Amino acid sequence: MHRDIEHVLFSEEDILKGIEAVAAEVTEVYRGQDWTVVSVLKGSCIFASDLVRRIPIPLQMAFVAAHSYGDGTRPGELHVDFLPNEDEIQGCNLLLVDDILDTGRTMFALKNELLSRGATEVKTCVFLDKPSRRELRLEPDFRVFEVRDEFVVGYGLDFAGRYRNLPYVGALKPSVFECTQGERS
Ligand code: 5GP
Ligand code: MG
């Protein structure tokens, strides 16, 4: 697995330092509120679990799952697999957490879906932000790192279902992309 990585963008140490700073910002915004962290599966499960453990105020957790079938590195049509229960959405202040904000289609669709089902407020928090690829007007309320237009894996982010368990974020060697059809979530 490690030998498929061309270079490391963020080490484990960089990641935890970055998350600590964002966790402090999130804490100040939600202090005193009743609120829920909604992790977008599968990609954000590792980020969400490191984030919530650095937030020292009460919160609840819920999960949504969405995936797009693309060619492995480019997005296709988005499918929402499941949403939180009605009582976890209606009248709730939600912080939607995802691994990366790329074109913005995933967060845009999920945010609208949760608002149309009665959420009071939906803010967004992403581990990585790739603003150069944005197709929709959507800026994250919180983000840990900005990245340039380069396909990255690790720390929850996959290529063809693999590499999510890398403890750092890295760019794959171009040779790995050859002849691979992938599913992304
Ligand atoms: P968006 O809907 O914003 O275009 O894309 C969001 C989803 O695409 C992310 O949740 C992630 O699954 C996938 N994605 C976008 N860019 C990358 C990337 O550089 N690496 C990986 N592994 N997935 C990405
Ligand atoms: Mg994802």
Q: What is the mean pLDDT, run by run of 10 residues, along the chain of 185 residues?
A: 94 98 98 98 97 98 87 73 96 98 94 97 98 94 96 96 97 82 50
DSSP state of 2: G
Q: Indicate which atom in ligand 1 lies nearest the CA of residue 104.
A: 3
Ligand 1 and 159: CB distance under 6 A: yes
Please work out whether the CB of residue 99 comes within 6 Å of at least one atom of ligand 1: yes
Packing angle of the helix pair 12-30, 45-52 (nearest 10 deg): 60
Residue with CA at minimum distance from ligand 1 atom 9: 100
Protein residue with least CA distance to atom 12, ligand 1:
185
Residue 76: closest CA among 50, 121, 106 = 106
Question: How far apart are the CA of 101 and the centre of ligand 2, in A?
Answer: 9
Whole-number pLDDT of residue 180? 60
In order of 3, 58, 99, 135, the CA distances from 51 in angstroms are 28, 13, 12, 27
102 is catalytic: yes
- Dihedral sign of CA atoms 134, 15, 163, 3 in order: positive
> Which residues sit opposite 78 in a β-bridge?
68
pLDDT at 78: 83
pLDDT at 183: 47
105 lines ligand 1 (CB under 6 A): yes
CA of residue 41 to ligand 2 center, whole Å:
6
Tell me the CA–centroid distance for residue 101 and ligand 1, in Å. Answer: 7
Ligand 1 centroid–CA 24 distance in Å is 25
